Amino acid sequence: MAELHDLTALEQGELVRRREVSPLELTEHYLERAHRIDDDPSTTVGAFVTLTDELARARASQLETLERGAGSPLYGVPTAIKDLNLTAGIRTTFGSPVFADYVPDVSDGVTLALEAAGMISLGKTATPEFGSPCYTEPEGRPPAVTPWDRTRMAGGSSGGAAAAVAAGLVPVAQGSDGGGSIRIPASCCGLFGLKPTRGRISGHPMYGDPVGLATAGPIGRTVRDAAAMLDELAGRRAGDPSWAPPPVGSFLAACDRDPGHLRIARFTAPVIAEAPVDKACLDAVVDASRMLEGLGHEVEEVAVPLPPEAVPVFETCWAVLTALSVVPPEQEHLLRPLTRWLSERGRQVSGPDFGLAIGAMRRFAAGALTALAPYDAVLTPTLAAPPLPVGAIRNDDDPAADFEAQKRFTPWTSAWNVTGMPAASLPLSWTDEGLPIGVMLAARPAEEELLLSLCAQVEAAAPWRQRTPPGW
Q: CA quadruple 111, 130, 149, 410: dihedral positive or negative?
A: positive
Which one of 157, 325, 414, 429 is the catalytic residue?
157
Clarify whether 181 is annotated catalytic: yes
Long-range contacts of 463-469 (CB under 8 A, 24+ apart): 464/190, 464/427, 464/428, 465/8, 465/221, 465/222, 467/190, 467/427, 467/430, 468/168, 469/146, 469/147, 469/148, 469/166, 469/167, 469/190
Clarify whether 157 is annotated catalytic: yes
* Burial of 261: CB neighbours in 10 Å, binned 0-12, 13-18, 19+: exposed
Q: Which residues contact 240 (CB under 8 A, 6 or more apart)?
A: 199, 202, 203, 204, 207
Q: What whole-number distance in Å separates Cα of residue 368 and Cα of residue 400?
A: 28
The one-letter amino acid code at 15 reads L
Q: What whole-number distance in Å separates Cα of residue 110 and Cα of residue 179?
A: 19
61 near 53, Cβ under 8 Å?
no
Phi, psi angle pair for 314, to nearest 5°: -60, -45
Which one of 82, 124, 195, 407 is the catalytic residue?
82
CA separation, residue 82 to residues 108, 284, 448 (Å) = 11, 29, 22
Q: What whole-number distance in Å separates Cα of residue 227 and Cα of residue 104?
A: 29
With residue 279 as reference, give the H or E element that holds it: helix 279-294
177 near 226, Cβ under 8 Å?
no
Q: Are strands 215-220 and 192-195 parallel, antiparallel or unpaired?
A: antiparallel
Clarify whether 429 is annotated catalytic: no
Q: What whole-number distance in Å separates Cα of residue 207 and Cα of residue 189?
A: 29
Q: What whole-number distance in Å separates Cα of residue 169 and Cα of residue 397?
A: 34
153 near 390, Cβ under 8 Å?
yes
Q: What whole-number distance in Å separates Cα of residue 203 and Cα of residue 205?
A: 6
Phi, psi angle pair for 319, to nearest 5°: -65, -40
Q: What whole-number distance in Å separates Cα of residue 47 and Cα of residue 144?
A: 6
Q: Are strands 78-82 and 423-430 parallel, antiparallel or unpaired?
A: unpaired
Which one of 107, 158, 181, 453 is the catalytic residue?
181
Catalytic residues: 82, 157, 181
